[in-house]
Amino acid sequence: MKKSIVLVAILGLGSFAMADVYQKCVICHGKDGEKAALVNKSKVIKDMTKAEIVASMKGYQDGTYGGAMKGMMVEHSKNLSEADINEIAEKIGK
């Protein structure tokens, strides 16, 4: 019993380290961007192109993009660098 808990903890940490900048997005957008955040409040971001993801993240940062829930994404985009955004788009976008 105890062993399996330790194993789950180690596996959990492993996937944390891999995903880094995208990790804090997973809870809402899904591991691969496959979920519409908060029950259909966002697009399924893995269906967006890389360029669309970059444009929307920059738009959240400068206040030119977003819908009813954009306050949430302003919060989640504001500390990302351009390199972080490109990395996320590369990983998630099509």
Interface with ligand HEC (CB under 6 A): 24-25, 27-29, 37-38, 41-43, 45, 53, 56-57, 66-70, 72-73, 76, 88
Report the residue number, 7 or 82, with the smaller CB distance to ligand HEC. 82
Report the residue number, 12 or 67, with the smaller CB distance to ligand HEC. 67
Query: In angstroms, rounded to a whole number, what is the distance separating the alpha carbons of residues 26 and 30?
Result: 4
**Cβ atoms of residues 94 and 47 within 8 Å:** yes
Residues 6+ apart with CB under 8 A from 1: none
Q: Measured from the CB of residue 93, what is the shortest distance to ligand HEC in angstroms? A: 8
